[in-house]
């Protein structure tokens, strides 16, 4: 079987491309990308070549000219771009990472310009070996040890869509048709078709991590095990299967354990999470971080374990996690969010925003997530007094109408707010009472308070004020009702 047949068989096996598919091919001028260009052209795909001059070496302009000449011989259109990799690297990235980001931004831009959904790169079998070893040395989990995938959706690829400011990358696929082909076979193919690839001198520079693996560590490991490359490839295939299983279980269990908690936050059901196997816990924690911080490429084992310990041990109340994300204890839940994010708590009554609103009498006021406050006047009779006073849910508050004058205002907590809870002998800060009642810190800010003037009459659903209570002598009352979502009080 010649190389064309091998590449064709791999494309069909992995469902990488449809016959005649239109796609962008990244061509650097090296053996891998030139071999890829030749194979895809021979197999009848509709191609546009994209070459990026990274401006890192003096010969880069000559390489761009060389790629243009080869591409013209094939009769294929080519787009050549330039980027200042060093300028991006000065923002805190390595040269390798900056080059990678700019290269994929360029490829995505070309694909969008042509309205293509596929991009192909020349990553090969030896690249896969190096990638798996690199991930192993960095302490990756099963997904990292799986190595590169033959087909990847770029909108789900960490480190691309948010770092690269290109909108609408959804649906653009990256394929690697040479992933099972060795570098030696690729170079032999180029020789057979009469193409002399350009040699990138930076590939010999052992200042780069990958080059040190290629030229120093792998040869050393081959002294211990001549088959180390095949060992690493087998491990990557095993880990890919493990990763598929864990990813499937994560998707399956996600709705049971995770809920959206407003813009910029996700809530984890603590009980459901703690009952899950440790492998699933780690996968869910990593996926939560990825969804909130998709540009965060390296999520270390230590970060994941720190998050798991905080969830399973309920400490501390707030934990800085990674990439500006915080982990918050919130009662039966744990919230992971950005600082200042407005977190939704559908299980609690919450204000829609921090603006004060009047509660009509009679009338109602809608709160967040389907909760509602209602107000009406009632007459107090002997046989109804006890039922008005007693409400096991805490969702009813009844006040002597003669003690309530002026507009009823519903607002958030202010500094210095105090209340004398019903039946108590003294006043207490509202903030302290919310803490004593174990209301999550993130839920306290928008907890509704019913007030008259400067007086707090009701911490909604929690405590009524003693001074406005109904008494045996009360004749008229104001009844406030907290209605949970999907329930309207009549």
Least confident residue range of 37-46, 49-58, 111-120, 325-334 = 49-58
Q: DSSP assignment, residue 484?
A: P
CATH of domain 3-224: 3.40.50.620
Taking CA atoms, 264 is separated from 324, 333, 339, 348, in Å, by 11, 16, 9, 19
Taking CA atoms, 92 is separated from 85, 88, 99, in Å, by 12, 8, 13
Taking CA atoms, 88 is separated from 95, 132, 208, 286, in Å, by 8, 26, 17, 27
Q: What is the pLDDT of residue 168?
A: 60
- Name the residue ranges covered by the structural domains of the chain: 3-224, 237-337, 357-483
Q: In terms of pLDDT, which residue wins out, 49 or 141?
A: 49
Q: What is the pLDDT of residue 144?
A: 84
**Comparing 237-337 with 357-483, is the CATH topology the same?**
no
Q: What is the average per-residue pLDDT within 263-283?
A: 94
Bridge-based pairing state of the strands 258-260 and 265-269:
antiparallel
pLDDT digits (tens, 9 = 90+) for 439-453: 998 899 999 999 998
How far apart CA 340 and CA 330 sit, in angstroms, is: 15
Q: What is the average per-residue pLDDT within 121-134?
A: 95
Taking CA atoms, 291 is separated from 235, 263, 329, 338, in Å, by 27, 12, 19, 12
Q: What is the average per-residue pLDDT within 405-434?
A: 91
- Are 429 and 439 a contacting pair, CB within 8 Å? no
- In this model, does residue 393 exceed pLDDT 80? no
Q: What is the pLDDT of residue 490?
A: 40
**Strand-pair partners of 333:** 269, 330
pLDDT digits (tens, 9 = 90+) for 30-71: 999 999 999 999 999 999 999 998 877 767 788 889 999 999
Residue 162: pLDDT band with limits 50, 70, 90: very low
Alpha helical stretches, state H, 146-265 = 183-192, 209-212, 218-224, 228-257
Q: Can you name the CATH fold of 237-337?
A: Chorismate Mutase Domain, subunit A (1.20.59)
pLDDT digits (tens, 9 = 90+) for 337-384: 998 888 899 999 999 988 899 999 999 999 999 999 999 998 887 766
Whose CA is closest to 449, among 420, 411, 415? 411
Q: At what angle do helices 228-257 and 125-137 cross, to 10 degrees?
A: 60
- In this model, does residue 100 exceed pLDDT 50? yes
Three-state DSSP state, 478: strand
Q: Can you name the CATH fold of 357-483?
A: Phenylalanyl-tRNA Synthetase; Chain B, domain 3 (3.50.40)
pTM above 0.95, yes or no: no
Q: What is the pLDDT of residue 56?
A: 76
Q: What is the pLDDT of residue 86?
A: 85
Q: What is the pLDDT of residue 99?
A: 85
pLDDT cut 90: percent of the chain above it: 63
Alpha helical stretches, state H, 25-182 = 31-42, 60-74, 85-89, 95-113, 125-137, 142-145
- In this model, does residue 84 exceed pLDDT 90? no
């Amino acid at each position: 079987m010649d190389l064309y047949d091998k590449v064709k068989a791999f494309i069909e096996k992995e469902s990488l491309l449809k016959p005649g598919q239109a796609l962008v091919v990244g061509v650097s001028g090296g053996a891998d990308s030139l071999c890829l260009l030749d194979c895809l052209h021979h197999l009848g795909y509709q191609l546009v070549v994209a070459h990026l001059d990274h401006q890192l070496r003096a010969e880069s302009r000559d390489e761009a000219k060389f790629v243009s000449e080869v591409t013209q011989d094939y009769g294929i259109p080519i787009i050549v771009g330039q980027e200042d990799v060093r300028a991006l690297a000065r923002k805190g990235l390595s040269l390798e990472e900056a080059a990678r980001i700019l290269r994929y931004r360029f490829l995505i831009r070309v694909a969008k310009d042509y309205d293509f959904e596929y991009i192909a790169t020349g990553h090969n079998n030896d690249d896969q070996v190096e990638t798996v070893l690199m991930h192993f040395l960095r302490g990756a989990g099963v997904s990292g040890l799986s190595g590169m995938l033959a087909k990847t959706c770029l909108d789900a690829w960490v480190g691309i869509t948010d770092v690269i400011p290109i909108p609408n990358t959804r649906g653009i696929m990256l394929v690697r048709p040479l992933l099972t082909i060795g570098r030696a076979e690729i170079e032999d193919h180029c020789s057979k078709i009469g193409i002399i690839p350009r040699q990138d001198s930076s590939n010999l520079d052992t200042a780069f991590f990958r080059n040190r693996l290629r030229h120093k560590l792998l040869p050393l490991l081959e002294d211990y095990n001549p088959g180390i490359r095949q060992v690493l490839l087998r491990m990557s295939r095993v880990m890919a299967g493990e990763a598929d299983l864990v990813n499937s279980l994560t998707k399956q269990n996600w709705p049971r354990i995770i809920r959206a908690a407003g813009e910029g936050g996700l809530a984890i059901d603590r009980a459901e999470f703690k009952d899950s196997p440790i492998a699933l816990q780690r996968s869910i924690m990593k996926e939560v971080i990825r969804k909130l911080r998709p540009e965060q490429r390296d999520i270390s084992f230590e970060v994941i374990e720190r998050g798991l310990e905080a969830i399973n041990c309920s400490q501390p109340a707030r934990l800085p996690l990674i990439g500006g994300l915080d982990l918050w204890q919130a009662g039966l839940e744990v919230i992971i969010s950005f600082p200042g994010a407005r977190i939704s708590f559908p299980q609690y009554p919450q204000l829609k925003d921090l603006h004060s609103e009047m509660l009509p009498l009679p009338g109602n006021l809608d709160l967040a997530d389907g909760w509602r406050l209602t107000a009406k006047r009632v007459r107090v009779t002997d046989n109804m007094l006890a039922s008005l006073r007693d409400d096991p849910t805490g969702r009813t508050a009844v006040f002597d109408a003669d003690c309530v004058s002026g507009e009823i205002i519903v607002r958030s907590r202010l500094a210095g707010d105090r209340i004398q809870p019903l039946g108590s002998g003294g006043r207490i800060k509202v903030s302290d009472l919310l803490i004593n009642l174990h209301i999550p810190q993130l839920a306290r800010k928008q907890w509704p308070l019913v007030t008259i003037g400067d007086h707090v009459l009701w911490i909604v659903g929690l405590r009524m004020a003693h001074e406005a209570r109904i008494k045996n002598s009360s004749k008229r009352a104001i009844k406030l009702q907290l209605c949970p979502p999907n329930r309207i009080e009549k």
